[in-house]
Structure 1
Amino acid sequence: MQGETITMQKETEAWYASWFNTPYYHQLYKDRDHREAAEFMNTLTSYLKLEKNSTILDLACGKGRHAKYLSRKGFDVTGVDLSEESIAYAKQFENDRLHFEIHDMCEPYPKKFDAVFNLFTSYGYFENDIDNLRTIQAINAELKPDGYGVIDFLNVKLAIKNLVPSEKKKVDDIVFDIEKYVENGFIVKNIRFNDKGENFFFTERVKALTLDDFKAFFKEANVELKAVFGDYHLNEFDENTSERLILIFH
């Protein structure tokens, strides 16, 4: 899996199908703020008035850190992700109120939930907008009549304004060389590093979707936008200052 091989793989395969399935992805992002994530889950489930044993679908759950926390809070949680490696890891934590499965979020999961969460910019990966629309349609199909969908996305205007073009990040014994730029409506992050004498290259691509873009998707999917927030404390969204774009709909 050296540089050119991986670069060629990117041209024929969705980037997230390979990058998320490597241990390096989890290594690079292992220092994410778990306390902030827990506080967000507390605030969000309280806002939605989710009662104990309410069912939640964690869409693009990764290795299941949020699903595990929600389960410990008393919810019945199903975590799904496209990454076989992540789901294989998460399955060790399964119990009566916590389940994990490999699943493509473009397709409706065959069960209905009180809430569907798509957290921490796990949206906008697709090259074609039809797949972003299909994901919202799938979330809508996964909701009970009184259920709510939540998409936690980045605020692209602020993210682009604060973009750091180049940086190095050392994690354990690996130095990740990270390059960021905007191209063809996507925020692109190129990640290069060497491990044990082998060169690796991966790319992340997230569509620079605005609130208006989401509103257009929701209208086409016949989904009602209930609330828009700008951070994990659910403060009002401001496109010039908010770090996040959190959308609550049904």
Structure 2
Amino acid sequence: MDVKEWFSTWFDSPYYHILYAQRDEAEAAAFIRSLQQKLKLKKETRVLDVACGKGRHAITLHNFGLDVKAFDLSPSNIEQAQEFASEGLEFFVHDLRKALPDHLKFEVIFNFFTSFGYFDTPQENQQAFHVLSDGLLPEGVLVMDFFNPSYVLSHLIEKESLVRGGISFHIKRWASEGYLFKSIDFEDQGQQYHFEERVELISKNDFIAYAAQAGLHLVDLLGDYKLGSFDEKNSARMIFIWVKK
């Protein structure tokens, strides 16, 4: 396995889920419901959840009556997600840079909560967009939720310590060469651990260019989970809505 692909080990670690266990599930569910209403998704609409983790958002989509398939790079995540699989809710292991099976075509594809920007090259980003576009039916919709780099850099917390599950996580954040880095150090049962996250600071214009190259037309750009309008300076999120033409 390519050692540079840190996400294939950290996202597979139980400590990743301990650190981020307190994410706001109610906010996430409200966001997904708002998207469903905005997009006017009917029951049994075929949707794909890309980089689904343990499936929490795929489950929410399914609970709204949608026909959901979901994938993640982590076998461990998918193994745990499989516990919730049922008719109309399927999970599988997949790498976003690789083509989806030909028979899988969707009316809507979702990529939630900054599950992009982990690759090493712009070419890989572009390839991922081609995979997403190829997975859509004509007039299909791609929704991608990513942090707003301008906002994140101006509100960056450089150091903090968080206690989760009885473990003290010591976190440092910094920006370098177009990426946002986060180092995570902690001790558990007498053993020291160190992980490092790295997410590309992809600009709004770069996202729009990647999508355009893949045949996707931008129809809306939202700035928060309440679906407010995007503002370059003050919006924490960039929530893109594209249509395949």
TM over 0.5: yes
Query: What TM-score comes out, normalization by structure 1 length?
Result: 0.94
Indicate whether 1:40 and 2:31 are aligned. yes
Report the CA distance between 1:213 and its aligned residue.
Answer: 1.0
Q: For 1:50 and 1:108, locate their aligned partners in 2 and report how far apart those are by CA, in whole Å.
A: 25
Name the structure 2 match of 1:171: 164
Deviations 1:82-108 (A, max 9, x none): 001100000011000110000001123
Q: For 1:163 and 1:192, locate their aligned partners in 2 and report how far apart those are by CA, in whole Å.
A: 18
Secondary structure of 1:89's counterpart equals helix
Name the structure 1 match of 2:193: 200
Name the structure 2 match of 1:128: 121
Deviations 1:165-192 (A, max 9, x none): 1110001211001000001100000111
Name the structure 1 match of 2:155: 162
Indicate whether 1:240 and 2:243 are aligned. no
Name the structure 1 match of 2:22: 31
Q: Amino acid of the residue matched to residue 153 of structure 1?
A: F
Which of residues 204, 212, 216 is equivalent to 2:209? 216
Q: Amino acid of the residue matched to residue 159 of structure 1?
A: V
Q: Which moved more, 1:126-135 or 1:58-67?
A: 126-135
Secondary structure of 2:36's counterpart equals helix
Secondary structure of 1:25's counterpart equals helix
Name the structure 2 match of 1:100: 91
Report the CA distance between 1:13 and its aligned residue.
Answer: 3.5
Pairing 1:144-163 to 2, within 5 Å after superposition: 144-163=137-156
Q: For 2:64 and 2:208, locate their aligned partners in 1 and report how far apart those are by CA, in whole Å.
A: 32
Which of residues 71, 77, 85 is equivalent to 2:62? 71
The count of corresponding residues between Structure 1 and Structure 2 is: 241
Q: Amino acid of the residue matched to residue 191 of structure 1?
A: I
Secondary structure of 2:216's counterpart equals coil
Which of residues 107, 112, 115 is equivalent to 1:114? 107
Report the CA distance between 1:119 and its aligned residue.
Answer: 0.3
Name the structure 2 match of 1:5: none
Give unmatched runs, 5+ long, in structure 2: none
Q: For 2:61 and 2:213, locate their aligned partners in 1 and report how far apart those are by CA, in whole Å.
A: 31
Q: For 1:114 and 1:35, locate their aligned partners in 2 and report how far apart those are by CA, in whole Å.
A: 25
Query: What TM-score comes out, normalization by structure 2 length?
Result: 0.96
4+ aligned runs moved over 6 Å, structure 1: none
- Identity, in percent, stands at 39
After superposition, the CA RMSD in angstroms is 1.1
Indicate whether 1:189 and 2:179 are aligned. no
Give unmatched runs, 5+ long, in structure 1: 1-8
Q: Amino acid of the residue matched to residue 172 of structure 2?
A: E
Q: For 2:69 and 2:213, locate their aligned partners in 1 and report how far apart those are by CA, in whole Å.
A: 27
Deviations 1:79-135 (A, max 9, x none): 100001100000011000110000001123220011000000001111111111111
Q: For 1:241 and 1:58, locate their aligned partners in 2 and report how far apart those are by CA, in whole Å.
A: 28
Report the CA distance between 1:220 and its aligned residue.
Answer: 2.0
Q: Amino acid of the residue matched to residue 87 of structure 2?
A: D
Name the structure 1 match of 2:41: 50
Q: Which moved more, 1:213-222 or 1:174-183?
A: 213-222
